[in-house]
């Protein structure tokens, strides 16, 4: 807002518009005033002159008759009086009365020559009876007063008009200054100071902000100014935002984890980002101006690259986008996989101006995918095709054989005793065996054949394009031969055999899954027939494998249908011959299959996990039986129970045993758990911890079947065993070769040195009992004393002893 002083200064010094306005007003007002005053003065002058003329007429009309009479009467005095009367009239300064014929009467003074005058003459007649000219009166009026008054009027008018005009002009200019020019100056000053830095400051005028002001021109200009400022501000902000967006985008493009390349319409490279250089090894300056297809090393790669980019160009032009996975070459010649998306960039008119090529290094993903693909299709351990790929290949082979009317051999292989080797020698040895076995099988096959690992120790061999049925048998013979040489497992030479089942398309089935089932059934038959052999499928074999499935489903219901039984075999104190306890042995009394021995169903129970509830039932029943016998005979017998390694994987195992003991009120030291060496070799079981926990409860632990497995006494020291059971195979030969008796003696001595009680099982003859007793064996068990018998029989047996 301007201060009054500065306004004044401005008015004086710096407002050309006000001055010009003032000058214009003065000039135009003066001209107008002069013109108007001239008119006015002329009008007044004309009026004065007219008044003199009028006076002449008044004199003529008023005095004509009286003068006629005076002249007719020649009354000089009267004439003079009358003439004096005329002279007394304003401006009339001279009268000349011509009296006919020759006299005259003059009155008044003739004005100077330089004084303007007016004259009027009129005749004086006497008309009675007839008209007689008596004379003529000439009246002279002086214009001196008129001119004098005219001059005064002119000066007065000019002076007053000028003053008035001047003051009015000043007033107008002041008003104009106050109302307009100072605001214009302020606007000018605002505009001068106006910059991008003070766009927030609106233009305001030094006047009240009301509707009237807002609607006038200044208000409109101010409004327009402020609108312009707002628009400028918006534009600026938008521009800033755009610039920021562009900056961000360009940073994003530059720092993008994807490689970015921009080509012009002719596909010449205009821009590449940092990632591109990083990925390809090409610095930007080396590729700018080139075409993407030119960036390949070597003639073949260059040809492929040109071909690829030609395809890409055509598709982008036709479809609008191209994307795909490309095996590209870095500057150093290394190959890598990249996912490329090529799309056009369009200008505002929708015309293609550039092409955008975004690439992403997918080498790791590709490797991962290939790995996954491999994992999905190949067995990790042996590198052989897995079940899925094998089934695919079987389907392909069958489809091809269908077309060509050929034969396809399907062979099912299962390693004999693999489980035993795995359990006794450890998983590493098992793995080595599988790898070596797969190598031996593969070496017996032609290139078109497939050997696949189906899982565990099961292999599948596909023989497409088989000439005749015998061909499959010949291959099976070759494979069996390949297993003749021993396998080196953990430093030991081990002989492993395999059983092979063969089914042939289309002779045994034209359906792939039936072919597999048939080959499987044939394999079971081969196993059944003594292992290390092969069998060609025959329809009756189906029943055997079916039986196995049936057994599994029946066993699942056997527990709730109370089909299991415990039989007991006494354990005799070798020194006294007294019964000290019994071993509980499981039997399955199936209404369909009859009495099933444990060797037939325990492996299946272990495989299916059914052994956990069954094993729990065995301990419960065995403890309950021991309590019953005690009540019946008064003798507190010990009870030995077999436990499978699979039961140790049950996290509830130890607590469930404790619960059973508590429930039966059975002292822990009267219960012995018989554990095979397999358990100690199974690295998936925390055997030591569980055995310690069991030992802490007071339960006795025994190593069963000693001599058939790892047979190292050293590990016995590491575990809290109480008893060692010499396997019946040693006992059977104890009276035969010296070696065997020496071995049994050594076992007894070493067991005693480790504070272990020794039980010999499989004692069938008295001589065996005598030998064992003589060599310090603590307890004896076998048919010589009693076969395993049902609970009631065992109680009866106890009573008669």
> Which residue, 464 or 782, is less far from ligand LFPHGCPZ as judged by CB?
782
> Which residue, 338 or 705, is less far from ligand LFPHGCPZ as judged by CB?
705
Closest separation in Å from C-beta 700 to ligand LFPHGCPZ: 14
CA 611 and chain centroid, separation: 49
> Which residue, 520 or 705, is less far from ligand LFPHGCPZ as judged by CB?
705
Q: What are phi and psi of 202, to 5 degrees?
A: -80, 160
3-state percent helix, strand, coil for the chain, nearest multiple of 5: 55, 20, 25
Close Cβ partners of 685 (under 8 Å, ≥ 6 residues apart) = 645, 648, 649, 679
Closest separation in Å from C-beta 607 to ligand LFPHGCPZ: 13
Closest separation in Å from C-beta 765 to ligand LFPHGCPZ: 9
> Which residue, 146 or 569, is less far from ligand LFPHGCPZ as judged by CB?
569
Q: What sign does the dihedral 89-95-99-101 (CA atoms) show?
A: negative
CA separation for the pair 265, 569 (Å, rounded): 95
Closest separation in Å from C-beta 679 to ligand LFPHGCPZ: 11
> Which residue, 264 or 733, is less far from ligand LFPHGCPZ as judged by CB?
733
Closest separation in Å from C-beta 631 to ligand LFPHGCPZ: 23
Closest separation in Å from C-beta 759 to ligand LFPHGCPZ: 8
CA separation for the pair 609, 179 (Å, rounded): 106
Residue labelled with tokens 């065992």:
794
554 within 8 A of 604, measured Cβ to Cβ: no
> Which residue, 541 or 618, is less far from ligand LFPHGCPZ as judged by CB?
618
Strands, E assignment, 539-604:
564-573, 579-590, 594-596
Buried b (16+ CB within 10 A) or exposed e, 524-555: bbbbeeeebbbbbbeeebbeebeeeeebeebb
Q: What are phi and psi of 411, to 5 degrees?
A: -120, 130
Closest separation in Å from C-beta 569 to ligand LFPHGCPZ: 6
Closest separation in Å from C-beta 590 to ligand LFPHGCPZ: 15
> Which residue, 462 or 731, is less far from ligand LFPHGCPZ as judged by CB?
731
Q: Which residues are registered as beta bridge partners of 584? A: 568, 641
CA separation for the pair 625, 565 (Å, rounded): 12
> Which residue, 219 or 788, is less far from ligand LFPHGCPZ as judged by CB?
788
Cis peptide before 247 (omega within 30 of 0): no
> Which residue, 516 or 769, is less far from ligand LFPHGCPZ as judged by CB?
769
* Interface ranges with ligand LFPHGCPZ (CB under 6 A): 569, 583, 585-586, 597-599, 602, 615, 618, 642-644, 674, 704-705, 725, 728, 761-764, 782-783, 788
> Which residue, 276 or 567, is less far from ligand LFPHGCPZ as judged by CB?
567
Q: In 3-state terms, what secondary structure has residue 103?
A: strand
CA separation for the pair 529, 674 (Å, rounded): 31
Closest separation in Å from C-beta 595 to ligand LFPHGCPZ: 11
Q: Which residues are registered as beta bridge partners of 789? A: 568
Closest separation in Å from C-beta 628 to ligand LFPHGCPZ: 18
CA separation for the pair 661, 664 (Å, rounded): 5
């Amino acid at each position: 807002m301007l201060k009054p002083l500065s306004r004044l200064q401005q008015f004086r010094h710096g407002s050309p518009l006000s001055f010009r306005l003032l000058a214009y007003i003065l000039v135009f007002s003066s001209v107008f005033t002069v013109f108007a005053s001239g008119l006015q003065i002329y009008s007044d002058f004309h009026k004065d002159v007219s008044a003199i003329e009028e006076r002449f007429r008044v004199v003529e009309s008023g005095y004509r008759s009286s003068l006629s009479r005076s002249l007719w009467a020649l009354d000089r005095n009267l004439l003079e009086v009358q003439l004096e009367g005329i002279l007394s009239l304003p401006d009339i300064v001279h009268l000349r009365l011509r009296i006919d014929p020759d006299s005259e009467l003059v009155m008044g003074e003739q004005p100077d020559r330089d004084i303007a005058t007016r004259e009027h003459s009129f005749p004086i007649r006497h008309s009675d009876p007839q008209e007689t000219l008596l004379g003529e009166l000439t009246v002279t009026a002086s214009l001196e007063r008129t001119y004098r008054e005219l001059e005064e009027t002119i000066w007065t008018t000019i002076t007053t008009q000028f003053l008035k005009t001047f003051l009015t002009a000043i007033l107008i200019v002041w008003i104009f200054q106050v109302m307009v020019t100072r605001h214009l100056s302020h606007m000018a000053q605002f505009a001068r100071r106006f910059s991008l830095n003070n766009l927030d400051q609106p233009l305001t005028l030094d006047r009240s902000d009301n509707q009237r002001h807002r609607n006038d021109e200044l208000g409109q200009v101010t409004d327009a100014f402020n609108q312009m400022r707002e628009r400028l501000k918006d534009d600026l902000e938008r521009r800033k935002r755009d610039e920021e967006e562009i900056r961000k985008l360009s940073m994003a493009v530059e720092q993008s984890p994807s490689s970015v390349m921009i080509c012009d319409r002719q596909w010449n490279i205009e821009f590449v980002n940092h990632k591109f250089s990083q990925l390809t090894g090409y610095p930007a300056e080396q590729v700018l101006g080139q075409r993407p297809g030119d960036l390949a090393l070597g003639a073949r790669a260059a040809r492929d690259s040109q071909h690829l980019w030609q395809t890409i160009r055509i598709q982008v032009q036709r479809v609008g986008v191209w994307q795909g996975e490309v095996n590209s070459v870095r500057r150093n010649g290394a190959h890598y996989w990249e996912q490329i998306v090529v799309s056009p960039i369009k200008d505002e008119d929708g015309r293609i101006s550039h092409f955008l090529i975004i690439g992403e290094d997918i080498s790791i993903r590709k490797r991962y995918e290939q790995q996954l693909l491999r994992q999905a299709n190949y067995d990790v351990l042996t590198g052989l095709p897995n079940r899925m790929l094998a089934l695919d290949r079987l389907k392909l082979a069958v489809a091809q054989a269908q077309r060509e009317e050929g034969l396809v051999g399907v062979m099912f292989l299962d390693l004999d005793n693999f489980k035993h080797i795995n359990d006794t020698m450890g998983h590493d040895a098992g793995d080595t065996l599988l790898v070596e076995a797969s190598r031996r099988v593969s070496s017996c096959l032609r290139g078109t054949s497939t050997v696949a690992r189906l899982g565990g120790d099961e292999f599948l061999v596909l023989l497409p394009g088989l000439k005749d049925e015998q061909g499959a048998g010949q291959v099976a013979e070759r494979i069996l031969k390949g297993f003749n040489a021993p396998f080196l497992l953990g430093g030991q030479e081990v002989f492993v055999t395999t059983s092979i089942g063969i089914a042939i398309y289309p002779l045994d089935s034209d359906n792939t899954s039936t072919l597999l089932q048939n080959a499987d059934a044939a394999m079971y038959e081969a196993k059944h027939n003594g292992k290390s052999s092969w069998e060609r499928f025959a329809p009756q074999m189906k029943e055997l494998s079916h039986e196995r499935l049936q057994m599994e489903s029946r066993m699942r219901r056997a527990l709730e249908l109370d089909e299991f039984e415990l039989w007991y075999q006494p354990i005799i104190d070798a020194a006294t011959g007294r019964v000290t306890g019994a071993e509980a042995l499981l039997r399955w009394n199936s209404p369909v299959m009859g009495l099933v021995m444990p060797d037939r169903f325990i492996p299946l129970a272990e495989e299916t996990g059914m052994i956990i509830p069954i094993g729990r039932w065995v301990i419960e029943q065995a403890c309950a039986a021991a309590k019953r016998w005690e009540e019946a005979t008064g003798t507190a017998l010990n009870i030995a129970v077999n436990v499978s390694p699979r039961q140790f994987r049950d996290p509830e195992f130890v607590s469930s045993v404790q619960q059973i003991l508590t429930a039966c009120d059975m002292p822990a030291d009267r219960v012995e758990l018989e554990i095979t060496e397999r358990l100690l070799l199974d690295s998936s079981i925390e055997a030591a911890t569980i055995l310690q926990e069991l030992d802490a409860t007071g339960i006795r632990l025994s190593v069963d079947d000693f001599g058939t497995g790892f047979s190292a006494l050293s590990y016995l020291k590491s575990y809290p065993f109480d008893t060692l059971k010499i396997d019946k195979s040693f006992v059977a030969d104890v009276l035969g070769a010296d070696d065997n008796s020496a071995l049994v003696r050594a076992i007894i001595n070493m067991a005693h040195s480790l504070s272990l009680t020794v039980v010999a099982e499989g004692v069938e003859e008295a001589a065996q009992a005598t030998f064992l007793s003589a060599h310090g064996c603590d307890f004896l068990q076998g048919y010589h004393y009693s076969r395993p018998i049902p609970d009631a029989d065992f109680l009866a047996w106890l009573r008669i002893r």
